[in-house]
Structure 1
Amino acid sequence: MRDTTILRAIHSWTARQPDAPALTSPDVSLTRSELATATDRAARHLASAGVRPGDRVGVLGGLSADWAIAALGAIRLGAVVCPLNERHTPFELGDVFAKLTPRVVVAAGGHRDVAEVAGKGIADPPHVLDAGTLSNIDVDVALPPLTGDPSDRVCIIATSGSTGLPKGVVYTHESLLGAFFEWSLQAPELMGARTLNVSSMSFAAGLLNGFLAPLVLGGSIVMLPKWDPQEAMSLISSERIATMAGTTIFFEQMAALPSFRDTDLSSLDVVFIGGNPVTLGLIEAWSAKGVGLRQAYGLTESLSMVTFPTVDLSVRKPESVGYGGVLTSVEIMDVDGTPCPSGTSGEIWISGPGVAKGYWDDAQLTEQTFAGGWLRTGDVGVKDDEGAIRVVGRTKDVVISGGMNIYAAELERAILELPEVLEAAVIGVDDDEFGETPAVLLRTSDAVAPERIVDHCRERLSSYKVPRYVVFRDDPLPRTSSMKIDKKALRNQYTSIPGQHSRFGRRH
């Protein structure tokens, strides 16, 4: 059996650099050896609670050292970490418990009551433990050898649910190591880098990109549990942060601060951004600070990032997400699974070492999504003559107007070019002329005439893509836990736009 696991990698770095920093949060700072001691202590505590290799261990709570140690303790035992969304209600968590059947749920940061209520009504409810006790109270239990099979499961991560009910995405040691290795080939600066983690550990961006990857690649993590743009910039400067990834809004908010101009951000070597359209203005603002924003592309099923555009490409083609990976193929396919020619849109398919092994306890959906070694993403993209990929939208985030497909992301990207527009979201609404037509929901910094929005879109897009309704909001657009705009919430809230707002364009 090949002992090629993330445990082996983390242990090797600890043996080589025991006193190097590993994990820093507002309440604790741990070296590699201190983190290893806390991990073993947590593993023994979980073993005493009956956790065995292959068991699911749920971890519930915000970004914290206790959360991280509990997760590492479960992995050390050979159990499967199931990060739980700290924003979920007991009802939602109950559905997750029923699906994943965790033996134990570790609650951090005051989430024990929610976990216990969620377990009520479940035939075999999980035992709930306090995260703080795992690393603070030692128990005398033998641990298994520090070996493992690369095909063993490491974690089951729920998708964001932006296109439907959450699905459990399964990752093994092999798939994680494959992804992390490819990252190091394309961005060698990630090796040994100090990373700022601002993402919830219940998603791939927080658990994998912001936590496990830095440890496996010999780096360290600084955690910012509650997002604050000023605090984030201060940490980048004081902790000499070398790498960071986050959704577009994080970088927009930092760039909007008066202190942005004078804050030293020169330590940043690799910055990945995505989740929402990235404007040229935002790229230029950070470029003026000597920091290149690289608009990566990926999804939970592909371990978040499968394209690594260069800084130069991001500046030349801000709408592009790169070419694909060194080891990962990213193709644009038609409905028959045939590669599309340049300039023709189709579904994005991915094949590579970091692609997940499938969905938990759902063989049918796994076959539909991962058959033939390709991950069918549900995203729509197009390649230009250079091979650079532009994400047009999601197959399920499309407005079908008069038989024509209008991808929300393309329209949103055009609207966000206007300097007054802070946020934009496009949804489809009923229309007696076209069946469905696009409406844009906006938050702006200054008053903007709706005609300006419409005229700007007419200059850049085909006439059928121009929004028929422009709706302004005072409040920020709702977002999911992963900080993506929550289209489902907006569709539920804005069901009466045609009857309450003026329509642009001819009718019949």
Structure 2
Amino acid sequence: MRDTTVLHALRAWSVRRPDVPALSCDDTSLTWSDLTAAVDRAATRLVAEGVRPGDRVGVLGGLSLDWAIAALGVIRTGAVLCPLNERHTAAELERVYRKLSPVAVVAAEPNREVAQLACKEIDTPPKVLDSETLSVAGSEGALPDPGNDPSRPVCIIPTSGSTGTPKGVVYTHESLLGAFFEWSLQAPDLLGAHTLNLSSLSFAAGLLNGFLAPLVLGGSVTMLSKWDPQVAMDLIASEHIATMAGTTIFFEQMAALPTFATTDLSSLKVVFIGGNPVTRELIDAWAAQGVGLRQAYGLTESLSMVTFPTVDMSVRKPESVGVGGILTRVEIMDADGAPCQAGTPGEIWIAGPGVARGYWQDEKLTEETFGGGWLRTGDVGVKDEEGAIRIVGRTKDVIISGGMNIYAAELERAVLEMPEVLEAAVIGAPDDEFGETPAVLVRTAGEIPARRIVDHCRLRLSGYKAPRYVVFRDTPLPRTASMKIDKRALRQEYTEIPARYERFGRAS
């Protein structure tokens, strides 16, 4: 990837396909020529506002053409794109501002007030610009040459992970292009494909997987500004969508629609799913429609997707996320950094072209996480004899009960096998006998005895892994902006489980 950048690919497709649709959202569509002109206008305006190569520029708002144009405009100036979570409060945004020191924030109208409130205690606050007017003609001036250095940062993706402390994951042109190249090796149908993006552009999955990657690979992107399962499914059929990716809940909600079985989804060639456990029932439902769901694995620090299981493996082993990549190594390591034997859980380590450079201005954490050429994910996995990887939990989402490790994801997967269970999340509850014990929070379709859930788990897992508390909810589980279950919110809500709910006796 020497002497080349993401911008070269985008400009090349604009020359080769000027009149071909590149990007659409709701009822508006832009050709490659339209998109390039809008991006250049946005970049010219940013330069007029004082943005220079290497500066950080935030973009804040929901899925929209304005957001996409602003983001590409930032990259076009040679500045570093900082996607901001549109759900953040002013206090949360202020912490991100302090971490990244953006010179400007391009905000959509609904988010402008919070973007400005977050500036109040900042000594050198960013300029807050309107995303709706950024690409309107008016500003004049020459655009800087962003250069050909592939090691230059493209974006810094803020993330707090499980700690709540802001971090910035740095991606360079080289890491993005390397990852996109590998994706094309593993799934050639991604080349030139029409992609449906359902995910917020403030996260790696939406920004990189669902937006930049399809454009760099010569395809087109349709974005859905507001999630609606029926609208999404209709778009797949009417727009002949070829690829898409999303968290499990998107596919569950589409499969639950009365029209699901009669809708033509045959255009879908590559579909990735993840973020929460995927059940056999969901895979079978989509397979009946001729669509193979492929459970990918990744995290913000690894460009969101690093494993691409085949459709065959997803059907044979729905609990598996594949065997790694063509150019990317995925290993299960023990506490001493040695590879684990098949069947032995360990931490997942990743090395490959799509791994992030590190964390913004945090050498210590970068060395701890990325040192030695490996990304230490903090996720726990296990390989089988075929090399297929199964995710069993997080090193920080483990319940230590009587000295035994219980991984939440493994127990959640077992509970979700029950057809009556719509959602499930496992957290730890304090316990006088074992120190900590698993509690499962569930939302069900109709009544189901708690004892039946416990017995179901004991038939599938070692007795000590079964939940000792079952908490029923009438409302959906809280989710983050990326639609993953928000464990932090659940732990804050359920602080008195032993005092309020029946405890099922000692497991054998």
TM over 0.5: yes
Which residue number in structure 2 is paired with residue 410 of structure 1?
A: 410
Farther-moved stretch of structure 1 (165-174 vs 55-64): 165-174
Q: How does 1:37-52 map to 2 (within 5 A)?
A: 37-52=37-52
Contact conserved, 2:331 with 2:348, CA < 8 A, in 1? yes
Tell me, in whole angstroms, the C-alpha distance in 1 between the residues paired with 2:364 and 2:95. Answer: 20
Which residue number in structure 1 is paired with residue 340 of structure 2?
A: 340
Tell me, in whole angstroms, the C-alpha distance in 1 between the residues paired with 2:383 and 2:164. Answer: 27
Q: Secondary structure at the match of 2:442?
A: strand
Which residue number in structure 2 is paired with residue 432 of structure 1?
A: 432
Tell me, in whole angstroms, the C-alpha distance in 2 between the residues paired with 1:158 and 1:274. Answer: 20
Which residue number in structure 2 is paired with residue 486 of structure 1?
A: 486
Contact conserved, 1:44 with 1:140, CA < 8 A, in 2? yes
Q: How does 1:301-320 map to 2 (within 5 A)?
A: 301-320=301-320
Query: CA-to-partner distance for each residue in 1:286-316, whole Å, 9 max, x for gaps?
Result: 0000000000000000000000000000000
Tell me, in whole angstroms, the C-alpha distance in 2 between the residues paired with 1:170 and 1:392. Answer: 27
Contact conserved, 1:327 with 1:352, CA < 8 A, in 2? yes
Tell me, in whole angstroms, the C-alpha distance in 2 between the residues paired with 1:395 and 1:94. Answer: 29
Name stretches of at least 5 consecutive residues in structure 2 with no aligned partner. none
* Residue 137 of structure 1, CA deviation: 2.9
Contact conserved, 2:95 with 2:166, CA < 8 A, in 1? no
* Residue 177 of structure 1, CA deviation: 0.2
* Residue 2 of structure 1, CA deviation: 4.2
Farther-moved stretch of structure 1 (380-389 vs 136-145): 136-145
Tell me, in whole angstroms, the C-alpha distance in 1 between the residues paired with 2:439 and 2:389. Answer: 26
Farther-moved stretch of structure 1 (164-173 vs 227-236): 164-173
Which residue number in structure 2 is paired with residue 64 of structure 1?
A: 64
Tell me, in whole angstroms, the C-alpha distance in 2 between the residues paired with 1:358 and 1:507. Answer: 43
Which residue number in structure 2 is paired with residue 272 of structure 1?
A: 272
Query: CA-to-partner distance for each residue in 1:396-419, whole Å, 9 max, x for gaps?
Result: 001000000000000000000000
Tell me, in whole angstroms, the C-alpha distance in 2 between the residues paired with 1:125 and 1:279. Answer: 47
Contact conserved, 1:23 with 1:222, CA < 8 A, in 2? yes
Which residue number in structure 2 is paired with residue 53 of structure 1?
A: 53
* Residue 136 of structure 1, CA deviation: 1.3
Contact conserved, 1:160 with 1:481, CA < 8 A, in 2? no
Contact conserved, 1:8 with 1:146, CA < 8 A, in 2? no
Q: Secondary structure at the match of 1:179?
A: helix
* Residue 146 of structure 1, CA deviation: 5.8
Specify whether residues 337 and 304 from structure 1 end up closer, same or farther in structure 2 by C-alpha distance, changes over 3 A only.
Answer: same
Tell me, in whole angstroms, the C-alpha distance in 1 between the residues paired with 2:161 and 2:358. Answer: 16
* Residue 162 of structure 1, CA deviation: 3.5
Q: Secondary structure at the match of 1:332?
A: strand
Tell me, in whole angstroms, the C-alpha distance in 2 between the residues paired with 1:368 and 1:311. Answer: 35
Tell me, in whole angstroms, the C-alpha distance in 2 between the residues paired with 1:27 and 1:81. Answer: 26
Which residue number in structure 2 is paired with residue 465 of structure 1?
A: 465
Q: How does 1:66-85 map to 2 (within 5 A)?
A: 66-85=66-85
* Residue 247 of structure 1, CA deviation: 0.3
Q: How does 1:153-168 map to 2 (within 5 A)?
A: 153-159=153-159, 161-168=161-168
Which residue number in structure 2 is paired with residue 371 of structure 1?
A: 371
Tell me, in whole angstroms, the C-alpha distance in 1 between the residues paired with 2:492 and 2:110. Answer: 31
* Residue 147 of structure 1, CA deviation: 3.5
Query: CA-to-partner distance for each residue in 1:62-93, whole Å, 9 max, x for gaps?
Result: 00000000010010010000000000001110
Query: CA-to-partner distance for each residue in 1:339-387, whole Å, 9 max, x for gaps?
Result: 0011111000000000000000111000000000000000000000000
Tell me, in whole angstroms, the C-alpha distance in 2 between the residues paired with 1:226 and 1:94. Answer: 26
Q: How does 1:214-233 map to 2 (within 5 A)?
A: 214-233=214-233
Contact conserved, 2:464 with 2:507, CA < 8 A, in 1? no
Q: How does 1:438-457 map to 2 (within 5 A)?
A: 438-457=438-457
Q: Secondary structure at the match of 2:262?
A: coil
TM-score, length-normalised on structure 2?
Answer: 0.99
Which residue number in structure 2 is paired with residue 127 of structure 1?
A: 127
Tell me, in whole angstroms, the C-alpha distance in 2 between the residues paired with 1:11 and 1:136. Answer: 20
Contact conserved, 1:83 with 1:156, CA < 8 A, in 2? yes
Specify whether residues 99 and 323 from structure 1 end up closer, same or farther in structure 2 by C-alpha distance, changes over 3 A only.
Answer: same
Specify whether residues 203 and 507 from structure 1 end up closer, same or farther in structure 2 by C-alpha distance, changes over 3 A only.
Answer: closer
Tell me, in whole angstroms, the C-alpha distance in 2 between the residues paired with 1:65 and 1:109. Answer: 14
Which residue number in structure 1 is paired with residue 256 of structure 2?
A: 256
* Residue 164 of structure 1, CA deviation: 3.5
- Matched to 2:126, the amino acid is P
Tell me, in whole angstroms, the C-alpha distance in 2 between the residues paired with 1:505 and 1:162. Answer: 31
Tell me, in whole angstroms, the C-alpha distance in 2 between the residues paired with 1:335 and 1:507. Answer: 28
- Matched to 1:240, the amino acid is H
Tell me, in whole angstroms, the C-alpha distance in 2 between the residues paired with 1:138 and 1:160. Answer: 38
Tell me, in whole angstroms, the C-alpha distance in 2 between the residues paired with 1:490 and 1:306. Answer: 29
* Residue 166 of structure 1, CA deviation: 3.2
What is the CA RMSD across the aligned residues, in angstroms?
1.2
- Matched to 2:227, the amino acid is W
Tell me, in whole angstroms, the C-alpha distance in 2 between the residues paired with 1:439 and 1:113. Answer: 40
Contact conserved, 2:466 with 2:507, CA < 8 A, in 1? no
Q: How does 1:84-99 map to 2 (within 5 A)?
A: 84-99=84-99
Query: CA-to-partner distance for each residue in 1:43-72, whole Å, 9 max, x for gaps?
Result: 000000000000000000000000000010
* Residue 134 of structure 1, CA deviation: 1.2
Which residue number in structure 2 is paired with residue 297 of structure 1?
A: 297
Contact conserved, 1:237 with 1:263, CA < 8 A, in 2? yes
Which residue number in structure 2 is paired with residue 118 of structure 1?
A: 118
Tell me, in whole angstroms, the C-alpha distance in 2 between the residues paired with 1:2 and 1:450. Answer: 59
Farther-moved stretch of structure 1 (104-113 vs 327-336): 104-113
Tell me, in whole angstroms, the C-alpha distance in 2 between the residues paired with 1:387 and 1:27. Answer: 45
Farther-moved stretch of structure 1 (107-116 vs 375-384): 107-116
Specify whether residues 173 and 507 from structure 1 end up closer, same or farther in structure 2 by C-alpha distance, changes over 3 A only.
Answer: closer
* Residue 139 of structure 1, CA deviation: 1.2
Which residue number in structure 2 is paired with residue 102 of structure 1?
A: 102
Q: Secondary structure at the match of 1:258?
A: coil
Which residue number in structure 2 is paired with residue 26 of structure 1?
A: 26
Tell me, in whole angstroms, the C-alpha distance in 1 between the residues paired with 2:298 and 2:501. Answer: 36
Name stretches of at least 5 consecutive residues in structure 1 with no aligned partner. none
Tell me, in whole angstroms, the C-alpha distance in 2 between the residues paired with 1:151 and 1:19. Answer: 32
